[in-house]
Structure 1
Amino acid sequence: MKRLFGTIGSTYLAVLAVAFFLPKSAVFLLAAGFVITGCGIVLAVKRFETGKTMLLAGISAALAVVSIFLYRNYIYQPVVDNYSDKEISFKGYICDEINIGSKIIVIPLQTEEINGEKAEVKINLTVYNDFEAEEFDCVEGRLFVSAHESENLISKGCFLSASQDNSFELRTTGEKHFSLYSLAVNVRMKCKSALTKLLNRDSGALCKAILLGDKYGLRKTYKHDFQRTGTSFLIVVSGMHLSVLCGLINILLKRTKISRLPRLIIFLVVVIGFSAVTGFTRSVMRAGIMVILAYCGDVVHRKVDSINSLGIAALILALPNPFVVGDLGVLMSFSTTLGIVLWVPKIIGFLTRVLHICSVKLKPLRWILNFIVNLIAVSVSAALWVMPILTLFIGRIPLLVVPVSIITSLIASLILILSVIMLALYFIPFISVLAKPIALLLNVLCGAHLNINFFVASIPFSSVKTEKLYYFIWLGVTCALVAVGYLIHAKKKYVVASILISAFVLGTGWSVQVLTDTHPTEIYLKQTYRGLTAGVSKDGSLSILCCGGNGRYNDDVIDDLYAYNSVIDNAVIPNRVNYSSYLTMLEEHFDLKNTIVNQKYADEISEDADFELSENSRISFVLNSGTVDEVMNIDGIVYQYLTIESRTLLFVPHYGDIEKLPVKYRTADYIIMDYVSYHAELLSCHTLIYTGQQNKRYDKNAELLGEISDKLILLKNKTYIFKIQEGR
C-alpha cells in the first residue's frame, strides 16, 4: 500500500480530535470504525484496492477511540481525583518559562513529591502579585489545587491549577534544577530580551510570536485581528518557520562539499535546537519529524512520501498522549501541512501553464514568477485547509483569508528571516551594532503586518459568524465528499460535481436560515468569583449592562465579547463593586461609543464617562433594534429594566432594595441578580438567574428565591447565554 502510515496517522489524529472535543460521540465513532473495518474486509476479499484503505482507516478509528478512553480514565482522571480540590504539600521545581502579564504571573510547577510521596504532576500557579523566582528554581510549599478548566492546557500536561484566590505558600529552596531543556529556555529568554531591547513593544511582541511562539505579549486586539482575518496560523510556530530556517541552511550547505550524512547530522541539530528554543512546540516537532525523515531518505537515496511522513509524525505525537489534539496549534499545523502537500503541486502546475512561465526566457523574471506562484499556492492551500479548524474554534468564517494570507505570509517569512539574522548579529561581539539597522526594518515590516490585519479585520463582513446549524451540515457534507474522493481516486468530473454539491448545500442552508431566522437578542452572562459581566447583542450590535469580576477571567470575557463585536455601543457602569476598574479594560480592547456611569462613583473611574447618572434620576435609550434599556439611579443604586421585543428583563445590582423600586418594575420575564436583594419577596418572574456568591445570605434566602420565580438558575464561575425573540 502506497500511503500506509499516511492513512493510519491522519485517521487516528482526526478521530482523536473529534473524540476529545465531543466525548459523547465516542460510541458513534467506535461503531463507525467497526462498520468501516467490516466494509474494508469485504472489499479487500474481493480484491478492491479501496478495501485495504478502508480496513486500515476503520481499525485506526477504533483504536483512537479506545486510546483516548483509556488515557482519560486511567491516566488523566486519577491525577485529577487524587489531587484536585484539595490542599497538598509538595516539593518540585519551576519547570518552564514564567509568563508575566500586566496583572498576573503564571508559574508552571513540576512536582517531585506530593504529601511526602513521589508524584510527578504539573501545576499552573497563577499569582496576582510580585513573586521573586526564576525558571528551574527548586521550590516547596502548600497549594490548594483544582482541576484546570482549559483542555488546551491539559493537552500540554498541566493537569491541575492553583491561584491566589486560594491560600498557598510557595518558597524557593535556593537550589537550581538543571536539564538540557533549562539551557534551551535560557537561550529562549535571551532571545526574548534581545527582541525587547531592539524593537518597539508591538514589533517585539510580533517577532516573539512568529520566531518563538510566545504570543503572551501580543495585544489582545491584534490577536483578534489575526482571528478575524483567519491568519492565526502565521503566528503559530510551525513547519513554515522551520522550513524557512532549514531552507536558509540548505542554501549555505549547497555551496560546500559536505556529504549527505554530515548534512543530516547538521539538520538534526538544527531541528532539535529550534524545537528546544521554541519550547518543544508540537507543531514544530511535527515539522522537525518530517524534515528528518526527508533527509534520512536523501541519505539512503529514497524519496519519502510527504503524506506518509505526516502520518508518522501524527503517530509519534499522539500515541504517548492522545490529549495532544487539545492543542489548537497541532490541529492547525497538521491541517495546513496536509493542504500544502495535496494542493500545492496542482496549483503550481495550473498557474505555470496559465502564465506560460516556462516560455519566459529572462531567467530573473522566471525566478520571480516562480516565487510568486509558489507563494500563492502555499498561501491558498494553507488558508483554505485551516479555515474549517479556525471556524469551528473561533466561530467565524474569515471571507478574506486567501488574499490576506498571500500578502502577510510573505511579510511573516521576511520577519522570521530578519529576526534570525538580527539575533545572530546581536549576540556576536564587536558587530552587534549591525543588528540595529535590521531592527529598524523589522519595525516597519511588523507595523505593516499588524496594520494590514487591522485594516482587513475592520472591513464590514470580513468575517461572518458560523454558529448556525447549516454551516456544520455543509462542513460535514464537504468532508464526506473529500473522503469519498480520496478513497475512489476521484477524477475531474467527481471534483466538479463535489464542488457543485457543496456550494448547493451551503447556499440552500444560508437561504433557509435567512428566510426563517427571527434575529433573536442574545444575553451573555459571565459570572466569576468577584463579579458579573452581562452583555446584550443583536445583529452585530453589542452593549454592556455591567462588567466586573476576578482578573484571572479577563481573557475569557474579552474573547467572548469579541465574538459579538469589536465595538461596544453602550456600556453601563452601575456601581463601584468590581465594575468601575473594568472601564479601562474595555477602552483598551474595544471601540467604546457611549458610557453611562453612576455619578456617585464617577470620580473613582480613570476614564471620562459620556454621561453621569445622578442620584434619583432615570434615562431610557435604545440598545438595538428591539431593545430599550431604562436605567434608574435610586439612592445611589443603579437598576436596569430592559424591554426586549415583547419580553422584559430586570437587572438588580449589588445591595439593591426592591422596596425602593417602583412597583411596575418588580415583575419581569427574566431577573438577573448578583446579590440577594433586600425585600426580594416583592419580586416576581418566570426565570431568575442568580449570579452572586452562594454564601450565608444566599443559604438563608434560597427558598425565597425559588418562590418568586418559576425557574431558578445558579451560575458559578461559568458562562451562560440565552436568546430572547418575539413570541418566545
Structure 2
Amino acid sequence: MKRPLALVGFTYLLAQVAAAFLKNYSLTAGLSIGCFLSFFILMRIPFCRKTYCFPVAFLTAAVAFTIFTVSDWNISSIKSFDDREVTVTGTVMETPELSNEKFYYIVKVDSCEGTDTDELIGKTIRLSSKQALGAESFDTLTCRVHFYPTSHSFSSWSKRISLEGYIFEYMPFSYETPKNYPLTAFPMKLREQLLSNIWDYLSKKAAGLGGALLLGDKVSLSQQIVDDFRLAGVIHLMSVSGFHMGIMTQLFFFLLTFVPISHRRKNLFAVFGIWLFMAVTAFTPSVLRSGIMYLIMLIGRFFYRRADSLNSLGFAVFLICLMDPFSAADPGFLLSVSATLGILIFASPLIKCFLRHWPEKMRSNKFLKNFSEILSITVSSMLFTLPVILIYFHTFTPASILSNFCLLWPVALFLYTVAGTAVLGGIPGVKILAVPFSWAAEHLADGILKTVHWIASLPYASISVSEEFSQFFLVCVFLLFGITFLCFCSKKNLQAAGILSVCILFAGVFGCQLESYNATWVTFVGGGKGTSLIFTKNGKSAVIGCNTKSRLIDYALREQNTKEVCFLTYLTKKPSEEWAASDLILKWKPDHVLLQPATYLEDSIRLALPNAGRTHTFGTASQIELWDQIRITVVPGAALATIDGTKLLICSKGTSLDSLPESFQNADFYFGVDLPKSSKPFQPNNIFLNHFLSSSLKKSSAKLNVPVYITDGNGSFVLEMKPDNTIKIRRSA
C-alpha cells in the first residue's frame, strides 16, 4: 500500500458517515459484526492477505462502527430524562449563543437534583432561555431545567449534546465566576477579546462577517447572510478550515521575517501559532483537520522531510474521528475534508490542462498562472463538496463556480485586514494602527456581501434536487471512490472516478428537472411562530400566509428557483404578519396582493403596496385561480387551496374549524401551528405542524391515526404534486 494512512482515514470516515445517516445503533452494531467477520474471512485468502487493502479496510470499518455504536448508545441511554424537570449545576463550555431570539448555553453537568441516578453527570446538554442569564464561558451555572424530546439532529450529534431543555427564568438561578480559570480557558478568553476588538472597530454587518470567517463565530451573523452564502454555493467559507489556516500560516511567516532566526526554526514558531489559532477557533473538526495537516507539514520541514498530502489528510481525518466519533455528522468538517481532497487530486492536473491550451510563451505569465490556480482550486473544491451539499441541503449550486472565483481573493484580503484589526486593536499604544485595517475590512465586507447577495439572487443560482437522487448520488460516489482506494489507488484513477461522478451528477440534475416539469411544489415554511404556504410551478410562486419570518419565506422562494411571485396574501391583521408581508412585497413585487379587510393599514404595508402590481381587499371571503390549475379560497385566518382535486387547508394559530366554511372541513392536508380544533370529526390524510416536538403533542397526534409531520426547528416540508396525482413529501434544509 502506497498510502496506508489515506486508506485507513477515509475508510474510517466513510463508515462513520454511514453510521450517522443510519441513525440506528442496532443496525450499526450489526454492520460492525459483519465487517469483523469479513476481515477474518479475507485474512484466510492468500491474495487478500498479501495486498492487505481489503482486510485493513474491513477492520477499520468494523472499529469505526463499533466506536460509533458505543458512543451513540451512551448518549441515547439518558433519553429517560425527556419531559422531566431537574435542577442542574454545570460548567458553561462555550460562549453563549443568540439564535431565533433565544440564548443557548452548552453546559457540562457537574451535579443534578431531583433525580435518583447519576447518568446525567458528565454529559453535555444544551439549554435555552428567553433572556440572557449573564453567565459566560467557564462560569458555573445552577438553574431549574425542563428537558424535552428532540429529533436526533446532526448539529446535536456533532457537538456531543446528550439532551436539550429550557431554563425556567422565573425560578431562582445563579452563576459563579471561577476565581482561577483553568489553562484551557485562555484560548476561549483570547477568542472573546479578539471578537470584542472586531466589534469595537467595525460596523455590525462587517463585524459579524469578520467573526464568522476568521473565528467561526456565526452568532451575530444574520440568517439572511448565511442563506445568501448557501444559495451562492460558498457556505464552506463559513467553516474555518484549510483556506483560513493557509492564510494564517502565511501571516505567521510574514511576522517571523522580523525575527532574526533561521528558516528551519521559524517552522517551530509557526507550529505554535497554528496550535494557538486552532485553540482560539474552539478546535472544531474542520479546524483540527486543516491544523493537523499543517502541523505535519511544518514538523516535516523542520526535520527536512516532505509529507505526503493524501497520507497527511487521511491521518488527520482518522485522528479526529477517533477522538470524536460524531465528527462525521458535522457538515463543516465534511465540507472541509471533501474540498481539500478535491484540491489535492484535481487542482494540479486542471492547472496543467488549462495552461496547455495557451501558447508556450504565455504559460510563464504570472497573471495567467494565478488565474489558472484560482480557477482550478475553485472547480476542484466545488466538485468534491457537491456530495455533502446535496445530502445535507438537497441543492445543486451552479453559481458556486462564479462565486468562488469572484470571492477567493477578496475574502483572503478581508481575513488579513480583520486579523490585523483584531490583534492591533487590543495592544495598548498601537491601537491607532488598527484604524487603516478596519477601514479596509469595512469596504471589503461591503463588497463581499453585495457580491454574494447578487449571485444568490441570480436565476438558477441554486437548484433543488430530490432526496432520493441525493442519496443515490452519494452511494455512487462512495462506491466509486471506495473501490478506487481499495483496488486502484492512484491519482489518475481517482481523477477518472471524479469525472464519472460529475457525469452522474449532471445527468441526475437534468433528469430531476425534467421529471419535476409541470409539477406543483408546495412548501410549508418551518421556523418562526406562524404558518406560511408557498405554491410554485415552473418558476412562478404564490404566498399564502406571512405569519413567520420574512427571511424564511424569502429563502424558501429562492430555494424553489422562483422568478416571479404572482400572488401574496396574509391571513391575520397582526402587525408582525403585515410587516413580514410588506418586506416580501418590497423584495418580490408580486402581481396581486390580497389585503385583509381593515379600516386602517399599518404604515409598513401601506408604504410597500405601490411596489405590487394590483391590490385587492375582500370581505368575508375571496377566491382566486392560478395557472389554470390551483383554486385558492381565502377567509380571515385560513385559506383552502385545491390542486387537481386535492384540498390543502392552512390555518393561523388559534383558528377554530367550526368558524370556517363547510367546504374547508374535508381537506386532505392540514397545515398549522397547532392541532386543529373542531367539535366535528376532522380527519385529513396528513397533518403538518410548525411546532417543536413535545410529549403532549406526540400523544395528541398519535390519537388521530394519521401521519403528523412536525418541523421541530429542522427546516421546512416540501410536497411535490405531479400531474398524475402522485405526491412526494421531503424535508428542506
TM-score > 0.5, shorter chain as reference: yes
| 2:571 is aligned with 1:574 | yes
- Please give the secondary structure, in 2, of the residue aligned with 1:106: strand
Q: By how many angstroms is 1:468 displaced?
A: 5.9
| 2:87 is aligned with 1:71 | no
Return closer, same or farther for 1:154/1:48 CA change in 2, 3 Å cut-off: closer
Q: By how many angstroms is 1:514 displaced?
A: 5.5
1:43-122 aligned within 5 A: 45-46=46-47, 51-73=51-73, 75-81=74-80, 83-101=81-99, 103-115=101-113, 119-122=121-124
Q: By how many angstroms is 1:587 displaced?
A: 4.5
**Structure 1, residues 185-232: CA drift from partner, whole Å, max 9, x if none?**
222222222222222222222111111111222222221221122111
**Structure 1, residues 261-311: CA drift from partner, whole Å, max 9, x if none?**
743431232122111211222211211111221222223332221222112
User: Is the Cα contact below 8 Å between 1:91 and 1:141 reproduced in 2?
Assistant: yes
Alignment partner for residue 327 of structure 2, among 324, 328, 338?
324
Aligned position for 2:382: 383
Alpha-carbon distance in 2 for matches of 1:460, 1:110: 46
TM-score w.r.t. the length of structure 2 is: 0.83
- Please give the secondary structure, in 2, of the residue aligned with 1:157: coil
Return closer, same or farther for 1:356/1:199 CA change in 2, 3 Å cut-off: farther
| 2:625 is aligned with 1:626 | no
- Please give the secondary structure, in 1, of the residue aligned with 2:299: helix
Report sequence identity in percent. 20
**Structure 1, residues 523-577: CA drift from partner, whole Å, max 9, x if none?**
444678965444434344444433547x9xx998876665335776544332257
Aligned position for 1:399: 398
Alpha-carbon distance in 2 for matches of 1:613, 1:698: 38
- Please give the secondary structure, in 2, of the residue aligned with 1:258: coil
Alignment partner for residue 159 of structure 2, among 149, 156, 159?
156
Aligned position for 2:173: 170
| 2:269 is aligned with 1:271 | no
Alignment partner for residue 139 of structure 1, among 141, 162, 166?
141
Q: By how many angstroms is 1:100 displaced?
A: 3.1
Alpha-carbon distance in 1 for matches of 2:90, 2:706: 48
Aligned position for 2:21: 21
Aligned position for 2:731: none
Alpha-carbon distance in 2 for matches of 1:681, 1:503: 54
Q: Which amino acid aligns with 2:123?
A: V
Aligned position for 1:9: 9
Return closer, same or farther for 1:53/1:259 CA change in 2, 3 Å cut-off: farther
**Structure 1, residues 225-251: CA drift from partner, whole Å, max 9, x if none?**
211221111221112111221123335
Please say which of residues 258-267 and 17-26 is displaced more in the overlay: 258-267
Q: Which amino acid aligns with 1:481?
A: L
Alpha-carbon distance in 2 for matches of 1:254, 1:680: 79
Aligned position for 1:444: 443
Q: By how many angstroms is 1:257 displaced?
A: 6.0
**Structure 1, residues 449-499: CA drift from partner, whole Å, max 9, x if none?**
222222222111122112164454345434433444444547899789767
User: Is the Cα contact below 8 Å between 2:53 and 2:487 reproduced in 1?
Assistant: no
User: Is the Cα contact below 8 Å between 2:187 and 2:280 reproduced in 1?
Assistant: yes
User: Is the Cα contact below 8 Å between 1:568 and 1:590 reproduced in 2?
Assistant: no
Over aligned residues, Cα RMSD in angstroms? 4.2
Alpha-carbon distance in 2 for matches of 1:489, 1:602: 73
Q: By how many angstroms is 1:60 displaced?
A: 1.4
User: Is the Cα contact below 8 Å between 1:286 and 1:313 reproduced in 2?
Assistant: yes
Q: By how many angstroms is 1:79 displaced?
A: 3.5
Alpha-carbon distance in 1 for matches of 2:134, 2:539: 45
Return closer, same or farther for 1:587/1:105 CA change in 2, 3 Å cut-off: farther
Q: Which amino acid aligns with 1:6?
A: A
Alpha-carbon distance in 1 for matches of 2:688, 2:366: 65
| 2:499 is aligned with 1:477 | no
User: Is the Cα contact below 8 Å between 1:628 and 1:643 reproduced in 2?
Assistant: yes
Alpha-carbon distance in 2 for matches of 1:32, 1:242: 39
Return closer, same or farther for 1:665/1:469 CA change in 2, 3 Å cut-off: closer
Q: Which amino acid aligns with 2:62?
A: A
Alpha-carbon distance in 1 for matches of 2:289, 2:499: 34
Q: Structure 1: which 5+ runs fail to align?
A: none
Q: By how many angstroms is 1:653 displaced?
A: 4.5
- Please give the secondary structure, in 1, of the residue aligned with 2:447: helix
Return closer, same or farther for 1:173/1:713 CA change in 2, 3 Å cut-off: closer
1:367-516 aligned within 5 A: 367-467=366-466, 469-470=468-469, 472-489=471-488, 505=504, 509=508, 513=512, 516=515
Q: Which amino acid aligns with 1:455?
A: W
Return closer, same or farther for 1:499/1:639 CA change in 2, 3 Å cut-off: closer
Alpha-carbon distance in 1 for matches of 2:9, 2:570: 52
Q: By how many angstroms is 1:328 displaced?
A: 1.0
Alpha-carbon distance in 2 for matches of 1:693, 1:276: 34
Q: By how many angstroms is 1:8 displaced?
A: 0.3
User: Is the Cα contact below 8 Å between 2:578 and 2:605 reproduced in 1?
Assistant: no
Please say which of residues 399-408 and 28-37 is displaced more in the overlay: 28-37
- Please give the secondary structure, in 2, of the residue aligned with 1:617: coil
Query: RCO higher in 1 or 2 (8 Å CA, sep ≥ 6)?
Result: 2
Please say which of residues 534-543 and 26-35 is displaced more in the overlay: 26-35
Aligned position for 1:220: 223
Aligned position for 1:564: 560
Alignment partner for residue 240 of structure 2, among 237, 240, 256?
237
Alpha-carbon distance in 2 for matches of 1:274, 1:679: 59
| 2:214 is aligned with 1:211 | yes
Residue-pair matches, total: 709
**Structure 1, residues 318-338: CA drift from partner, whole Å, max 9, x if none?**
113211111111111111111
- Please give the secondary structure, in 1, of the residue aligned with 2:640: strand
User: Is the Cα contact below 8 Å between 1:530 and 1:578 reproduced in 2?
Assistant: no
| 2:192 is aligned with 1:193 | no
Q: Which amino acid aligns with 2:297?
A: A
Please say which of residues 230-239 and 619-628 is displaced more in the overlay: 619-628
Q: Structure 2: which 5+ runs fail to align?
A: 726-733
Return closer, same or farther for 1:165/1:402 CA change in 2, 3 Å cut-off: farther
- Please give the secondary structure, in 2, of the residue aligned with 1:2: coil
